[in-house]
A and B are shown apart, each in its own frame.
Chain A
């Protein structure tokens, strides 16, 4: 059972370009979370998705950022018109569906390091 996969591992974009970050959850996991780690800062929640649904996007910047988790294929975090302040490590995590409100451990991917030049 492969772990959570993210690609690319490193992404360099010029200011104004678009960045697309992909996350394939572990097999059997239907919940995906995106977190951002700015340089020298802690991890911050961005968005929580289930298949075809955004459950909680309270941590997403209001503009330029969007996320999806289609029925087929990986979850995508999309950043339009990137700026230098978007340079960070973006981590995806996945967990199996909780039953009766039970929470499960989250398994993290290796992260995508985005550098905006």
Chain B
């Protein structure tokens, strides 16, 4: 069964802290996506990766294919990073299977 699990469900941290959100999946994937859902509800695609590591500004995404695990890191976190972060996987086709999301709150 194609499943995606995320942890933690909720994360509260102080401004400036290094943040890690984890995602694991059940079987082989074609690609792993990280999405950000703003408090207003809009969804932004942050990364799509199938191997290795990608970086964009303060955001870093890594994936370990052997361990079926991906992480999203945020360096020097800021209150504007507060959002729900969602991991999603493509299991050999184009449709996405989503994790339940991690609600991140950064306190000033």
Q: Which residues on A are within 8 Å of B, measured CB to CB?
A: 31, 33, 35, 42-45, 48, 55-56, 58-59, 89, 91, 95, 98, 103-108, 110-111, 113
Contacts and interface: CB of A to CB of B under 8 A. Distances in A.
Contacts of B75: none
Contacts, number: 56
A108 B95 contact: no
Nearest to A95: B94
B96 A33 contact: yes
Interface of B is mostly: strand
A90 to B, nearest CB: 11
B96 A103 contact: no
A44 B99 CA distance: 10
A103 B31 contact: yes
Interface stretch (B16-24, B43-51, B55-63, B64-72): B43-51
Contacts of B33: 105-106
Given A42-B101, A43-B86, A48 B95 contact: yes
Contacts of B44: 108
Interface string B87-108: 0101001111111110000000
Given A95-B94, A103-B94, A42 B100 contact: yes
